[in-house]
Amino acid sequence: MELIFLGTGAGAPSRRRNVTAIALRLTRDDSTVWLFDCGEATQHRMFDAPFGPNRVDRVFITHLHGDHIFGLPGLLSTRSFPENVGPLRLYGPPGIRAFVRATLDGSQTHLSYEIQFHEWTSPEPAPVREGLYTVRAALLDHAIPSYGYRVEEAPFPGRLHADRLRAEGLQPSPLWARLKAGEDVTLPDGRRLRAADFVDPAEPGRVIAILGDTRPCKAAVELARGADCLVHEATFLDRHAHLASAFFHSTARQAAEIAREAEAKCLILTHVSARYERAEEDEILAEARAVFPNTLLAHDGMVYEIARRKRDV
């Protein structure tokens, strides 16, 4: 499981930062890519990524400001070129369907695949199950409806002890799969085998929170609660907190306070204003680390691997 930061800037692109787009690369059981926001030229950034638009099969839009969606029509069009590309599920606030349909229809772009639209209709929509993952969304505090996302991975099955099963005279068979799935089984001779005696406890899955533009709010804390990784905007430095509040954004310090309150394990800052030069970006990171030490500042092209959790002993 990897986060790949395709764009980490806010509002408008700069020489060092393109506008917002984050890819979540999932390789458990099957290799797929989920995209969170799609700012202008996102597909260009994929030239240097280990995947292309055709590998993206889920897109989660946080809100409809242009720096988060203007790259979507181009990516959707390019995705249509490979043969036999599968459908794409697109999640986002009300209006995302109208935006996509208007741009594709106006440009007479004909896709070779189906887009399955899912627009959020409440501040806390019902969780969505996507294979091994559950996605929770919640409305944040921004100038227009902006959602944050929490991705929860299913637990990893515990290790099956084949040596113990063979010692019981049980050779590989469908009964092994049933035991690994946590089911007790009865053998033909009447013996009852308990799964707990042959399979280690499950390992917990990972949790990632990726938030859209927001001022500090309770929903941000709850989405990030206990997360292995929280991705939070840091548009402004604390000395510009008045601008952050006026424009419905957060400072680096405020993002760190959210991570601390949520007891997240790691904080990654993104969505940095183009007003800041490189030296000031060092200040952004230092400001957050003073509150939450395990903080990183994302840059375009950065890859962050989310390690598997350790099972509680």
What type of residue is 119?
Answer: E
- The beta strands (E) that lie in the chain are given as 2-7, 9-10, 21-26, 32-36, 56-60, 88-92, 115-119, 128-130, 133-139, 147-153, 185-186, 192-193, 207-211, 229-233, 267-270, 272-273, 295-297, 303-305
Active-site residue, from 57, 67, 228, 300? 67
198 close to 166: Cβ distance less than 8 angstroms: no
Residue 67 annotated among the catalytic residues of the structure = yes
What type of residue is 197?
Answer: D
The DSSP secondary structure of 94-132, one letter per residue, reads TTHHHHHHHHHHHTT---SS-EEEEE--SSSPPPEEETT
Mark residue 127 as left, alpha or beta (left: phi above 0; alpha: psi -120 to 50; beta: remaining): beta
Please identify every residue annotated as catalytic: 67
